[in-house]
Every structure is written in structure tokens, then in C-alpha cells.
Amino acid sequence: MISLAFWATVINYLDRQTLSVAAPVLREQFHMSNVEYSRVVFAFMLAYTIMNGVSGPLIDKLGTRIGYALCIGWWSAAAVLHAFARGVWSLGAFRFLLGVGEAGNWPAGVKVVSEWFPPRERAMACGIFNSGSSVGAILAPPIVAFILLTFGWRTAFFAVGAAGFLWLLFWWPIYRTPAIAPGEPPEAETRMPFRETLRVRFVWAFLLSKIFMDPVWYFYIFWFPEYLKNARHFDMAAIGKFAWIPFVVAGAGNFAGGALSAWLLKRNVSITVTRKGSVTFFAALMTSAIPAVLVQNTWLSIALVSVAMAGYTGCLANMLAMPGDVFPQNAVASVYGLGSMGSGFGGMVFTLITGWVVDHYSYTPVFIGFGILPLICALVMWTLMGPLTPRGANTA
């Protein structure tokens, strides 16, 4: 079951990363400045933000099988539409449609985990399915660059978009939902009203924490190829050969995050200290983004970016597990979707800031800022989130 969520996430990132790999070509063809490119990315983030708050409750209502299928069918069709872009406005419109569908992947994946895994295994399970983002990002540069250089950028968008429809052929006949998640008490089946989730402090602290964490990842996936081209003077072929390296290291971060969490829980560390402590440790690793932009050696810079990206995925493996630690499985997608509205909001704001700062200054202040933001996320968790107590035992 978790492999299905893993491959959906791979496809999600193939579709998402196609733009960043093709950006140097599209920017030349459509005469886009950094600010205009940031607006195209903003269109994706706007839809992503809005639909995070909608897709979670929708998936909880429709069920994982139907809800996940609906999301991936939508975003795959939107990815194919990119092949018909004629300029900045149409490209932005298709990115908006892509964001509408892609917002459902993580609420659905978290719901799969909550349905099939007990609490002690959830961080690792989340790390496994979320590692699909790294695998998709690893595959995107060589695959998209090859298709783009051989057949053109339109074919590249069409080809990666078609992959989602292939996934549906496996998902629909295979996926089922167990009656009760392993390790959950029978009362977990009781439905939790959506309005009740809005009164829980965890939801708003989680949303705020993601405002400062997830924009760092969006910067790497949307801007890193551009950084290699403009600041490190890579051509398209070199981007295809080397832009995947940090994502390989990021993939290891997913498993490291799950392993650290499991190790702490086996030693009877509380779930609160385990999750928050793990996030803090990996957030500290993300400060390597600061020296990454300052060093002269290109390969050392890529290595430091790789460490920062592994820090992010280590954080996320634990953050993905948190809603399932607090809420019953029938509310997990809604809670994660609400929290991820912070992700989208932060992504929108910091994407526009990134484009403006790069145009007017350089990448240096951007990397410094994204090295500091994860520490703010950790601070929010320790000061505002409260204990990760299963809902019912504590309503604070």
C-alpha cells in the first residue's frame, strides 16, 4: 500500500519538476524575467494553498481510494496541458491547474499511512512515501533534459503527464482500506467533525510551522536549476547530469528522519520530544544552505545544498507523522491539508520575494534566509504546538 503512495509521489514530482528543468529554455522562448518566472511559480503555489484546505476534507469524505485517484487524474491532465502553453499567461494558468490537483498528494499519502501503520512505524512509513519526492526530483533532470533536447519541451510535458494515468491502472484495483488502523483503538473509527479540528491548538501551530519550513524545499525544486545556470554557469546538458545529486541525498534524509524517530521511541522517549527533537536536529542541518552560496567551489556548494535538502526531508518525515499522532485516521487528511495551507502561503510569499531579491541583488541573501527559516519552524513547534497528545485525551 505504501508503495502506491510512493509512486504517486514520484509522479507528482516528475510533473512538478519538469518546469524547473525546462525553465532555462522556456524563459528564453517566452522572454521571462526572474520576477515573471516567480509569478508562474506563484500561480502553482496559489492553487496549492487553496486546495490544501479543500483536498484534505474532500479525501476524508470520499475515502482514500476515490480521493487519491481524483487528485492524480486531475494533476496528470493539467501536466499534459503544459505542452500547449503559448506564453507566460497560459503557462501560469496550467501551473495553477497543476497545483489544484497536486495539493491532494500529501493529505492522501498521510491518510494511507494512518490507515495502515501503527504510531511507532508512521515516521518511517511517511519517510518511505515522501522519498518519492526525492526520486521524482532525481529522475526529472536527466529524463526531462533528454526528452527536451531530443524531442522538444512540449513532448517532455506530455510524456511526464501521461505517467499518472498509468498509475491509476494499478491503484484502482489494488487499494483497499482496513477496518481499523494497526495499533488504533476501536473508538478511532468515530468520525471527528471538521469544525472541531479547527479548535485544536495543534492545527494552527502546525500551519504556522509549515510557513517557515516548506518554502525552503520549494526554493530548491523551482530555483536550483536556475541557480546552477546563472550563478554557477551550467548549461542544459550539465543541469541534466548534475542537478539530481542533492535529491539523492535528500532521499536518504527521509529514511534518516524515520530511523531517528523510531530509535528514540524504542528508548521510551515521549512522542512529543521524539517528533519535535527530530525536527530540530534536521532543521539545524538545513543551515548548511548559508555556506553553500558563499563557497567558491561549485561541487562543495552542491554538497552543502545536498545536506540542507536531506535536513528538510528528515524534518518532513516527522512532520508528516504528527497529524496521525494527534487525530483519528478519519480526520488526518483534513488536518494535514489545513496545515499545508501554511506551506502554500509561505511558498507564495517567499517565491515572490526570491524573484525580486535575485533580480535586484543576488542569490546570496536568498540562501542565507532559507538557511534560517527552518530554525524558526522548530521554535514554533517547541513554543506554540503543545504536547502531541492523542485527541480525546486532551483537547488543548
pLDDT digits (tens, 9 = 90+) for 17-71: 888 788 878 888 888 787 788 888 888 888 888 887 788 888 888 888 898 999 9
Amino acid 136 reads G
Cβ-based neighbour number of residue 142 at 10 Å: 16
If residue 268 lies in a helix (H) or strand (E), which one and from where to where? none
- Give dist(CA 383, CA 209) in Å, integer: 11
Long-range contacts formed by 177-180: CB under 8 A, 24+ apart:
177/63, 177/64, 177/65, 177/115, 178/115, 178/116
- Give dist(CA 18, CA 302) in Å, integer: 20
If residue 169 lies in a helix (H) or strand (E), which one and from where to where? helix 153-174
Report the chain's terminal Cα–Cα distance, integer Å: 33
Q: Shortest CA distance to 40 belongs to which of 340, 345, 341, 348?
A: 348
Q: What is the CATH number of domain 2-172+194-384?
A: 1.20.1250.20
User: In 3-state terms, what secondary structure has residue 176?
Assistant: coil
The dihedral built from the CA positions of residue 90, 92, 94 and 96, taken in this order, carries a sign that is negative
Grid coordinates belonging to 103: 495539493
Beta strands in 69-120 (DSSP E): none
Ordered by start, the domain boundaries in the chain are 2-172+194-384
Amino acid 94 reads F
- Each residue's pLDDT expressed in tens, for the chain with a length of 396 residues: 888 889 999 999 888 888 878 887 888 888 878 778 888 888 888 888 888 778 888 888 888 889 899 999 999 999 999 988 888 898 889 999 998 988 888 888 888 888 888 877 887 888 888 888 878 877 887 888 888 888 888 898 998 889 889 999 999 888 887 765 555 554 445 566 767 777 888 999 999 999 999 999 888 877 887 788 888 888 777 877 787 788 888 888 888 998 999 899 989 999 999 999 999 999 999 999 999 999 988 889 999 999 999 999 999 889 988 988 888 877 887 888 888 788 878 888 888 888 889 888 889 999 999 999 999 999 999 999 999 888 754 444
Helix then strand then coil, % of the chain, to nearest 5: 85, 0, 15
- Give dist(CA 318, CA 3) in Å, integer: 19
pLDDT digits (tens, 9 = 90+) for 99-153: 898 888 888 888 888 888 887 788 788 888 888 887 887 788 788 888 888 888 8
Angle at 126 between CA 123 and CA 131, to 5 degrees: 125
Estimate to the nearest angstrom the gap between the alpha carbon of 84 and the chain centroid. Answer: 26
Task: Name residue, grid cell 531517528.
Answer: 260
